Amino acid sequence: MASRSSNSNRTRVGKYELGRTLGEGNFAKVKFARNVVSGENVAIKILDKEKVLKHKMIGQIKREISTMKLIRHPNVIRMYEVMASKMKIYIVLEFVTGGELFDKIASKGRLKEDEARKYFQQLINAVDYCHSRGVFHRDLKPENLLLDANGVLKVSDFGLSALPQQVREDGLLHTTCGTPNYVAPEVINNKGYDGAKADLWSCGVILFVLMAGYLPFEESNLMALYKKIFKADFTCPPWFSSSAKKLIKRILDPNPSTRITIAEVIENEWFKKGYKPPSFEQADVSLADVDGIFNEIGDSGELIVERREDEQPVAPVTMNAFELISTSQGLNLSTLFEKQMGLIKRETRFTSKSPAKEIISKIEQAAMPLGFGVKKNNYKLKLQGEKTGRKGHLSVATEIFEVAPSLYMVEVRKSGGDTLEFHKFYKSLTTGLKDIVWKTGDEAEERKGGDGPDGVVASK
């Protein structure tokens, strides 16, 4: 039963209490949640059932989810269970606290070859294991590579990543739903492709970025970018060892029939250095919940009931201490205070002492002159850019949380478009909000030894 407890204004889905949004796209939203029975933190991916039905994807999703439930691997995000209401599908996933692997590159510039190799080995372990179970990722990119609290790589969205590709009307051309830089030439070609070979190409691009600190194929013009990818027109920087260069060139072979295979990568001398095969055990897994989620006409007892959306909250959601800490990477409290240079995130935040309603109207006033349309829903705003940017229209979601009496945290998240454009937009937006912004996330990071997370408890 999904409901809101009157004192905390929270939505409940089954035994999970939903919290802040961790990420969103055209097709799904991911929310932080807490199992109220065990106290365990999880992430819940919420899919729109109507879109799934409309695009005739039930068979595919059911197959992918069933396989994902069976996958237990130390380098793949674990799927715990699946639930459904009449309108939505809820996929309960492991909540990983160490942030994205690529945050390391953004802050350090690039990784040393040994460290890059360690992460690449874990990535190949995950990809190879899933391929052996008939699951292909089809959308390997930085956002899908997470780290747990111990720094272990976890690939997210395995088997679910292909879902948004089906939703768009333009076939496979958009491929990665925003960033084609990681996509194999045969996928862009839209003539059908081998999922295993395409995934390996993406792994090769990821290895290049880990060691170089920049992309092998980068052009602001999409057609020029495609030409480079089709010809595999890239140059390895001089600091790559000759054996790493050779391996990357064999992976980034534009002809899938001559491209190295994952089995050959695992036997490669450069790859094998310091390699530790993963150790894990298989567990008994039930697939009963997967059958239940698409039982449209069957026993409605299998469906959870959602709280109706016409109960308007009278105030922003109050953020508890666990969620506040979860906004920091890795639940490692030192990162609340450390300076992280040059980090361009897809979400950022500022705090304000102004009333919540005033914050909403000020954001609206600041966004419109920047060429953004605004949609309001309680204490959340959707801002949609009117101009087409480098990776489509920039769209931004904002949400207000109460972190203390008369102190609000405003989270601003990119939900579509280019991260660099989002960063520029955020700078312009906060300039227009200077009379209500108490402290921005950037200012908090710039203060050495500050007093709190992203300026939340910092004093001016």
pLDDT digits (tens, 9 = 90+) for 250-276: 999 999 999 999 999 999 999 999 998
Which pTM was predicted? Answer: 0.66
Mean pLDDT: which of 52-61, 221-230, 411-420 is highest?
221-230
Provide, rounded to the nearest whole percent, the portion of the chain with pLDDT above 90.
22
Architecture per CATH, 4-95: 2-Layer Sandwich (3.30)
Q: What is the pLDDT of residue 342?
A: 34
Q: What is the pLDDT of residue 112?
A: 93
Tell me the catalytic residues.
139
Burial class (CB in 10 A: 0-12, 13-18, 19+), 39: exposed
- Looking at 177-191, 239-253, 291-305, 363-377, which range is the least confident one? 291-305
Kindly state the average pLDDT of the residues 362-385: 84
Residue type, 353: K
In whole angstroms, what separates CA 383 from the centre of its chain?
A: 19
Name which residue leads in pLDDT, 279 or 172.
Answer: 279
Q: What is the pLDDT of residue 330?
A: 40
Closest CA to 304 of 316, 292, 312: 292
Going by the DSSP 8-state scheme, the letter that residue 438 receives in this structure is: S
What is the assigned CATH class of domain 317-447?
alpha beta
272 is in an annotated binding site: no
Residue 422 to residues 25, 116, 130, 309, 391: CA-CA distances in angstroms?
15, 28, 33, 30, 11
- Looking at 139-148, 248-257, 282-291, 390-399, which range is the least confident one? 282-291
- Please report which helix (H) or strand (E) contains residue 302, including its range: none
Fold topology of 101-272: Transferase(Phosphotransferase); domain 1 (1.10.510)
- Looking at 41-55, 110-124, 209-223, 228-242, which range is the least confident one? 41-55
Sorted by where each begins, the domain ranges of the chain are 4-95, 101-272, 317-447
- Looking at 80-89, 173-182, 205-214, 399-408, which range is the least confident one? 173-182
Residue 317 — very low, low, confident or very high, per pLDDT cuts 50/70/90? low
Kindly state the average pLDDT of the residues 204-221: 91
Residue 233 has pLDDT above 80, yes or no: yes
Location of structure tokens 């979860």:
326
At residue 254, the 3 state secondary structure works out as coil
Residue 283 — very low, low, confident or very high, per pLDDT cuts 50/70/90? low
pLDDT, averaged across the chain? 75
In whole angstroms, what separates CA 281 from the centre of its chain?
A: 27
Provide, rounded to the nearest whole percent, the portion of the chain with pLDDT above 70.
70
Query: Contact at 8 Å (CB) between 285 and 81?
Result: no
